[in-house]
A and B are shown apart, each in its own frame.
Chain A
Amino acid sequence: MASTADHADHADHAGDAGHAHHEPGFVKKYLWSTDHKMIAMQYLFTGMVMALIGGYFAYAFRMQMAFPGQHVPGFGFMAPGEYNGLVTSHGTIMIFWVAMPVLLAAFGNFLIPLMIGCDDMVFPRLNRLSYQIFLISAVVLVASFFVHGGPFGGAWTAYPPLSAKAEYNLTPLGATLWLVAVALEFVAFLLGGINFVTTAMNARAPGMRMWDIPIVIWMIVLASIMFMASVGPLVAGAAMLLFDQTLGTAFYDPARGGDPILWQHLFWFFGHPEVYVVLLPALGIVAEVMTVFARKKLFAYKTVLYTAIATGILGFFVWAHHQFIAGIDPRMANVFTVTTVLISVPIGEMCFVYIATLYGGSIRLTTPMLWALAFLAEFLIGGVTGIFLGASGSDIYLHDTYFVLAHFHYTFFPIAIIAVFAGITYWYPKMFGRMLNETLGKIHFWITIVGFNMAFIPLFICGAAGDHRRIYDYSSFPDLAKPYLQNLRILATVGTIVILFGQIFFLINFFRSLRGGPVAGPNPWRANTLEWTVPSPPPHGNFAVMPTVYRGPYEYSVPGREEDFWPQNLPD
Chain B
Amino acid sequence: MSAASEAVAPAAPSAAPGPPRSEERRRTGVPHAVMGTLIFIVTELMVFAGMVSAFNIVKSRSPAEWWPPPTQPRLPVEATAVNTGVLLLSGVVMFLAARAWSKDPARGVRLLRVAVGLGATFVIVQGTEWYLLIEQGLSMTVSAHSAFFCLIIGCHALHAIGALVALVWVLRRMGRGVATQGQFQAAQAFWYFVVGVWPILYARVYLL
Chain A residues in the interface with B (C-beta under 8 A): 1-2, 122-123, 126, 190, 193-195, 197-198, 201-207, 209, 225, 228-237, 239-240, 243, 247-251, 256-259, 262, 265-266, 269, 297, 300-302, 548-552, 555, 558-561, 571
Contact = CB atoms under 8 A, between A and B. Distances in A.
A559 B6 contact: yes
Interface string B31-44: 01101100110111
A243 B140 contact: yes
A202 B22 contact: no
A559 B10 contact: yes
Contacts of B36: 122-123, 126, 194-195, 198
B6 A237 contact: no
Report, nearest first, the 10 A-B pairs whose CB atoms are least far apart. A232-B46, A233-B50, A236-B50, A551-B13, A207-B21, A257-B144, A232-B47, A236-B51, A206-B24, A122-B32
A467 to B, nearest CB: 33
B141 interface: yes
A550 B13 contact: yes
Interface residues of B, number: 48
B61 A558 contact: no
B177 interface: no
A301 B3 CA distance: 12
Nearest to B44: A232
Interface in B37-92: 39-40, 42-51, 53-54, 57-58, 61-62, 66
A320 to B, nearest CB: 13
Nearest to A234: B50
Interface string B1-29: 10000110010011010000110111111
B24 A548 contact: yes
A234 to B, nearest CB: 7
B118 to A, nearest CB: 28
A251 B54 contact: yes
A1 B6 contact: no
A202 B21 contact: no
B43 A231 contact: yes
A92 B80 CA distance: 43
Contact of B49 (A205, A232, A239, A549): A232
Nearest to B30: A202
A549 B145 CA distance: 57
B126 interface: no
Contacts of B45: 232
Contact of A202 (B29, B54, B143): B29
B147 interface: yes
A202 B49 CA distance: 28
Nearest to B46: A232
A206 B21 contact: yes
Nearest to B37: A194
A230 B46 CA distance: 7
Contact of B144 (A209, A256, A552): A256
A250 B6 CA distance: 63
Nearest to B14: A550
Contacts of B28: 202-203
A550 B144 contact: no
Residue among A195, A206, A234 facing the most chain B CB atoms (10 A cut-off): A206
B141 A248 contact: yes
A266 B13 contact: no
* Residue with the greatest number of chain B CB neighbours at <10 A, chosen from A203, A207, A555: A207
A259 B46 contact: no
A232 B50 contact: yes
Contacts of A243: 140, 147, 151
Contact of A257 (B27, B140, B143): B143
B1 A300 contact: yes
